[in-house]
Amino acid sequence: MENNHPVNIYIVSDSVGGTANSLGKAAMSQFPSANIKLHGYPFIRGEDTLISILEKAAEENAMVLHTLVSDDLTKVAQEYCSKHEIYCVDLLSPIIREIQKRSGVQPANKPGALHEMDETYFDRIRAIEFAVMYDDGRDPKGFLEADIILLGISRTSKTPLSMFLANLNYKVANLPLVPESHIPEELWQVDPKKIVGLTNNLDMINSIRQERMISYGLNPETPYSNKERIERELEFSNDLYEKLGCLVINVEKRSIEETAAIIVSTLKLDKKKLNHLEEYN
């Protein structure tokens, strides 16, 4: 018989805490049936604040994952957790010390250095704005400026994938495919190496569309969710992909992150931007 006691994980950081949060979620994913809760405590600056959090962690027998850059706060966390037998993992200090040892360079010890508003940050904002502007084929001219163009019938994850790729600094435009609609001339002017055709399993699309209708308080059996209609849409999209000679990805059993990784690696996009993708894995 499984023991399913609640497990509390405290994410403590003097910055955003994204690194520790991602690691905590990655570990949690291995225990889908466990009762695990993440508690975030970002932007910790003072010793008193840190101690109060650790006191609460001790009361709940919580695990503590921290990315404290400050030597003083790191020391406080280590000593308090050791004294009170709190499971505590310092995710940054060992790596920082090893880099310092190998490079001979002193660390900046600057909280939030990873998230400074440099040119990369502003590129990301511009990419997100681009994705919003050219979502759902609003302006075909965007195809000529985009790094990536996503095509697909309804419910193939075009918009969420566009936003995810935009957060990796790619300019993405997407176009919903409907058999009755005209394919914009601009699409044929684009290098097919920039185009990605998204597809999905007929039954999966049918199920998703029915659930969408139910969420709107409507009858799930509509022309939108009709299997014959969906089959015709899939045939239309697959014919178009073949004519374009573009990359085709079936998103049925893939997460947004997995699909994005395939797109970035297959299209051989900017390697510098590819590094950002690793933050999500």
One domain, residues 151 and 269: yes
* pLDDT of 60 over the 90 cut: yes
Domain that holds residue 26: 7-115
Q: Average pLDDT of the chain?
A: 89
Assess if residue 2 is contained within a domain.
Answer: no
Q: Token digits for 63?
A: 């695990």
Across residues 175-200, what is the average pLDDT?
96
* pLDDT of 111 over the 80 cut: no
What 3-state class would DSSP assign to 124? helix
**Higher per-residue confidence, 279 vs 171:** 171
One domain, residues 125 and 98: no
**Higher per-residue confidence, 136 vs 2:** 136
Least confident of 150-154, 221-225, 243-247: 221-225
One domain, residues 38 and 175: no
Q: Check the annotation: does 158 bind a ligand.
A: yes
Q: Check the annotation: does 193 bind a ligand.
A: no
Per-residue confidence (pLDDT) for residue 17, from 0 to 100: 84
One domain, residues 140 and 265: yes
One domain, residues 145 and 182: yes
pLDDT class of 263 with cuts at 50, 70, 90: very high
pLDDT class of 114 with cuts at 50, 70, 90: low
One domain, residues 18 and 98: yes
pLDDT class of 19 with cuts at 50, 70, 90: confident
Q: Check the annotation: does 199 bind a ligand.
A: no
For the four alpha carbons of 199, 183, 206 and 214, in that order, the dihedral sign comes to positive
Assess if residue 23 is contained within a domain.
Answer: yes
Q: Check the annotation: does 154 bind a ligand.
A: yes
- Residue 147's nearest CA partner among 249, 281, 254, 264 is 264
Per-residue confidence (pLDDT) for residue 16, from 0 to 100: 80
Per-residue confidence (pLDDT) for residue 267, from 0 to 100: 85
CA dist 175 and 188 (Å) reads 13
Q: Check the annotation: does 156 bind a ligand.
A: yes
Q: Check the annotation: does 83 bind a ligand.
A: no
Across residues 87-105, what is the average pLDDT?
92
Assess if residue 62 is contained within a domain.
Answer: yes
Per-residue confidence (pLDDT) for residue 141, from 0 to 100: 95
* pLDDT of 120 over the 80 cut: no
pLDDT class of 115 with cuts at 50, 70, 90: low
* pLDDT of 167 over the 80 cut: yes
For the four alpha carbons of 162, 167, 168 and 173, in that order, the dihedral sign comes to positive
* pLDDT of 166 over the 90 cut: yes
One domain, residues 110 and 127: no
* pLDDT of 213 over the 60 cut: yes
Q: Token digits for 15?
A: 């910055």
* pLDDT of 71 over the 80 cut: yes
One domain, residues 36 and 142: no
* pLDDT of 161 over the 70 cut: yes
Strand order from edge to edge, sheet including 247-250: 172-176, 148-152, 195-199, 247-250
Per-residue confidence (pLDDT) for residue 156, from 0 to 100: 95
Assess if residue 72 is contained within a domain.
Answer: yes
Domain count, the chain: 2
One domain, residues 23 and 156: no
Per-residue confidence (pLDDT) for residue 110, from 0 to 100: 73
Across residues 140-167, what is the average pLDDT?
95
CATH number assigned to the domain comprising residue 65: 3.40.50
For the four alpha carbons of 253, 255, 261 and 264, in that order, the dihedral sign comes to positive
Alpha helices, DSSP H only, in the chain?
A: 18-28, 47-59, 71-83, 93-103, 119-133, 142-145, 158-166, 185-188, 202-215, 227-244, 256-266, 271-277
Per-residue confidence (pLDDT) for residue 1, from 0 to 100: 42
Domain-ending residue, one of 94, 115, 136 = 115
Across residues 158-175, what is the average pLDDT?
94
One domain, residues 87 and 191: no
One domain, residues 20 and 101: yes
Assess if residue 69 is contained within a domain.
Answer: yes
Strand partners, 279: none
Alpha helices, DSSP H only, in 142-201?
A: 142-145, 158-166, 185-188
Domain-ending residue, one of 81, 115, 149 = 115
Q: Check the annotation: does 215 bind a ligand.
A: no
CA dist 127 and 243 (Å) reads 28
* pLDDT of 108 over the 90 cut: no
Per-residue confidence (pLDDT) for residue 280, from 0 to 100: 44
* pLDDT of 274 over the 50 cut: no
Assess if residue 1 is contained within a domain.
Answer: no
Domain-ending residue, one of 115, 147, 170 = 115
One domain, residues 125 and 109: no
